Amino acid sequence: MRVLGIDCGTERTGYGIIESDGRSHQMIAAGAICTVPRAPLEYRLLTIAEGLRAVIHLHAPDSAAVEEVFYSLNVKTALKLSHARGVALLLIAEAGLPLGEYSPLEIKTSVVGYGRAEKRQVRMMVHSLLHITAEIESEDACDAMAVAICHANRRSSEMRMSKTRSAG
């Protein structure tokens, strides 16, 4: 299965595409869609939409996953993040992709085995799980890869459980 992971942000939206059989993951592409921070929000959202649309068209994922909205002390920041997330959800729906949404705790637990893992631990495990030695170009892209790995792991577990139930 080919999975698109998205790490939403209004300045940088990370994306990662993996190919996975549920046990082994291979990196296909990773990057970040960067916007001009001083540009009006609507133009930054347009840039994100155009970038995600191009990624989906180029890599043809089977499913997509994003991080759930987390609570922020800064309401203004949380609202801007929600706008970027809304754009991602719209593009996923437009492409007809099944969607997975995961909390930061679920993502870290899936990738590192510990829900309170630090960014550097997540980065190290993403590289290890993807069997890559070169650095992923940005922290946002690496976080998106973690989202994609979490989704692939979750889908694989769900399929195994479904097979077990139907066999029993």
Annotated active-site positions, please? 7, 67, 140
Query: What distance in Å separates the CA atoms of residue 150 and residue 111, rounded to the nearest whole number?
Result: 6
Locate the DSSP E strands across the chain.
Answer: 2-7, 12-20, 25-34, 63-67, 99-102
Query: What distance in Å separates the CA atoms of residue 30 and residue 9, rounded to the nearest whole number?
Result: 15
Query: What distance in Å separates the CA atoms of residue 9 and residue 11, rounded to the nearest whole number?
Result: 6
Q: Nearest Cα to 6, choosing from 153, 94, 107, 96? A: 107
Angle CA 88–31–7, to nearest 5 = 40
